[in-house]
Amino acid sequence: MPEQIGFIGVGRMGHGMAANLLAKGFPLTVLGHQNHAPVEDLVARGAREGATVRELAEKCAVVFLCVTGSPQVEAIVYGENGLLAGARPGSTVVDCSTSDPTSTRRIAADLSARGAAMADAPVTRAPRDAEAGRLNSLVGASDETFARIRPMLDAYSEAVFHFGPVGAGHTAKLVNNFITMGYCALIAEGMAICAAAGVDLRAMYQVMSRGAADSGALRKMIPAFLEGDLTGHQFAIANALKDVTYARAMMAGCGFDSRLVEAVRQTYAEAVEKGYGDRLMASLMEMHEERIGKPVVPRRALE
């Protein structure tokens, strides 16, 4: 008999993850979301809607979280009638958010004192991959906890990687996102330099995509951008700033003096300050238009 699973955070990524758990036969209870449509869809597929966080903790053997980051996770865990209050011996919390590993390890210790376990299992790829069950899961957990949750992770993942104990999954995700955010910042600045210097952007992309400058970030951002579409890379600039800020703290915590992380963070901080936080990665090039006083985006699709 599959274990009862709770799921908190059925937004753009969480909905697909939860839907795949249901499709693979896991009994699922979901918590209401500010946009209730995903909850209604999952209930129509066979999920049950829970009333409170504590109810999920008390009734579900495993509770998944897929929210924005550590402040939201901590509110769910430590809030009145939160997960910690309802935790019971033998239960497990799986945080699929992109969170601060220091916070994750502290939560794990507090859950352990109640006889419960913690795993961090952030994911990579896009919402469409979540719906298709093709995510990559980066896991930090004890061997015992990893073995327990592996069938659940397999329900929505194309690949599952166990990086080590609690906190290792979030650390790996931050390194991955730091590199990706760095690519995006470099690509956007490079396109802006081309615009400032009068170099053909399409020709530049053709060269980059055929050589060592090629990357998944380039192919997500630039072909759509060249047609004036700034939605090719479906990741919000504000979330990029959050992740790079977490990465900076993680690096400092392990004694690594990064020469690059602050430059990358400042790029996203400037974009958020200028009002681009809710926009997607290619809108970094809109920010550069302001800086150089020349058009960068071939067609202003967002106006």
**Which pair of tokens denotes residue 23?**
């499709």
pLDDT at 291 over 70: yes
Phi/psi at 22 (nearest 5 deg)?
Answer: -60, -45
pLDDT at 303 over 70: no
Distance between CA 107 and CA 198 in Å, rounded?
A: 52
pLDDT of residue 129: 96
**Which pair of tokens denotes residue 160?**
């599952």
pLDDT tens across 201-245, in order? 999 999 999 999 999 999 999 999 999 999 999 999 999 999 999
Residue whose pair of structure tokens reads 């090719």 in the numeric block: 232
pLDDT tens across 32-91, in order? 767 889 999 999 999 999 999 999 999 999 999 999 999 999 999 999 999 999 999 999
Active site residues: 173
pLDDT range class, residue 299, cuts 50, 70, 90: low
Which residue(s) pair with 48 in the sheet? 29
Which residue(s) pair with 160 in the sheet? 137
Closest CA to 261 of 282, 247, 240: 247
Q: Which residues contact 36 (CB under 8 A, 6 or more apart)?
A: none
Distance between CA 111 and CA 83 in Å, rounded?
A: 9
What ranges do the domains of the chain cover?
A: 5-165, 171-292
Neighbours of 262 (CB within 10 A): 12
Q: Are 172 and 124 in contact (CB under 8 A)?
A: no
pLDDT at 302 over 80: no
Rg (CA), the chain: 20
**Which pair of tokens denotes residue 143?**
């061997």
**Which pair of tokens denotes residue 237?**
């600039």
Distance between CA 294 and CA 15 in Å, rounded?
A: 40
Distance between CA 302 and CA 221 in Å, rounded?
A: 15
pLDDT of residue 248: 97
Strands 28-31 and 5-8: parallel
pLDDT at 300 over 70: no
pLDDT of residue 35: 80
Closest CA to 151 of 5, 31, 53, 9: 5
Architecture of domain 5-165: 3-Layer(aba) Sandwich (3.40)
Q: Are 49 and 74 in contact (CB under 8 A)?
A: no
pLDDT at 142 over 90: yes
Residue 279 to residues 28, 160, 296: CA-CA distances in angstroms? Answer: 32, 30, 16
pLDDT of residue 135: 98
pLDDT tens across 105-137, in order? 999 999 999 999 999 999 999 999 999 999 999
Distance between CA 92 and CA 150 in Å, rounded?
A: 12
Residue whose pair of structure tokens reads 């690949």 in the numeric block: 159
Q: Which CATH class is domain 171-292?
A: mainly alpha
Number of Cα atoms under 13 Å in the Cβ half of residue 66: 25
Interval 173-190 mean pLDDT:
98
Strands 5-8 and 123-124: unpaired
pLDDT at 101 over 50: yes
